[in-house]
Amino acid sequence: MALKRVVVTGLGALTPIGNTVQEFHESLFNGVSGAVPITRFDTSLHKTKFACQLINYEASTYFDRKEARKLDPYCQYAMISADEAIRDSGLNLEKVDKDRIGVIMSSGIGGMGTFEDEVSIFAKGDGTPRFSVFFVPKLISDIASGQISIKYGFRGPNYCTVAACASSTVSLISAMDHIRLGRVDVMVAGGSEAPVTQGGLGGFNSLHALSTRNDDYKTASRPFDLGRDGFVMAEGGGALILEEYEHAVNRGARIYCELVGGGLSADAYHLTAPHPEGLGAALVMKNALVDANLPPEAIDYINVHGTSTPLGDVAEPLAVLSVFKEHAYKLSISATKSMHGHLLGAAGAVEAIACIFAITDSKIPPTINHFTDDPQIDNRLDFTFNVAKEREVRYALSNTFGFGGHNATVIFKKMDA
């Protein structure tokens, strides 16, 4: 059986550098940093006092008060980004077959804030377990997919993939495969995360994973820079409408690009550290290329995982060189986490959108905050430091790697005229 083609027909984004796809697009190419001091709780006892938070976000803008109380922020972010993507796709919800539309919205952590709040209330009480009836439905990572399907009546495949920071890339691959195999016509896929909480900040600080550059937070996310000291935690969501090609053409949809392949692998090495030689990272890129039936030389742009951590930013370039050999020096590379921070389970969806912009705009988003080359990194590679640049992008590849050694890669292709 020939596999169906999969195209992207809708985009939605709620990020620290833009509350809509249009705002995200503008900030991305202008090199805007989303890092700000954390104000929603007291950070005086935390090592890190900043994050890439959503700016001017009010749940009441999108939900009535009663509805908002039933939704953890991570679920709100998923629903908002999915709604924008659905509207952007132009799908006529009165005419489509909702039995053949599915949802896979992922989260690496789920309702962390809800868990902290409920347990805190319990701990301060008399020991009687008086938990909110919404505690579990707000907490679990799959509920965002469920809420989206309920809102729109989509009755196709509905679940959540959890693979730490690779979660939403896995959701894209899973959604692509459902369409390829002819099971559905359309999938809403992506991810969301709301980790800027006491527990999120304290937990990642205990792992020495976060930057502590409190006096210069705007430049704290420094992928591939000698002075990098950890990632900047971020919140938000991203969603893509994936659609079977003929279905999209028949309804006259605007098509952004084609999703032509995806790969998965494991480092099988360490809970939080990447394999020092990037073996798992190299394998996942090779697997994606095989799935897309492409030679390495076809790729023009890579949105790397590039978190600004001391170990990860050494291992990933080694993996790129291992896979692409001499062609690696012809690639354009960027780490957009330098701007929007690390959205954990939502990173893959948001960075996939950045890849799509590179294709549609023939422009490479920058890796900002680069000051000093690291001698451990081959700086003959073009990391697009500090300033965006014009370049035609026919094929773009996006990497996401998660704690536990979970690796996922997707490849997008420019549509032929």
CA-based diameter of the chain, in Å?
A: 68
CA distance 305 to 168: 13
CA distance 226 to 230: 11
* Residues 35/218, Cβ–Cβ less than 8 Å: yes
**Main-chain phi, psi angles of 56, to 5 degrees:** 55, 35
CA distance 144 to 107: 9
**Main-chain phi, psi angles of 101, to 5 degrees:** -125, 125
* Residues 390/362, Cβ–Cβ less than 8 Å: yes
* Residues 317/377, Cβ–Cβ less than 8 Å: yes
- Residues carrying an active site annotation: 165, 305, 342
CA distance 266 to 260: 21
* Residues 113/73, Cβ–Cβ less than 8 Å: yes
> Token match 């990173």: residue?
347
Query: In this structure, are strands 406-413 and 395-402 parallel, antiparallel, or unpaired?
Result: antiparallel
Tell me, rounded to whole angstroms, the distance of Cα 19 from its chain centroid.
15
**Residues 218-235: b if buried by 16+ CB within 10 A, e if exposed:** ebbbbbbbebbbbbbbbb
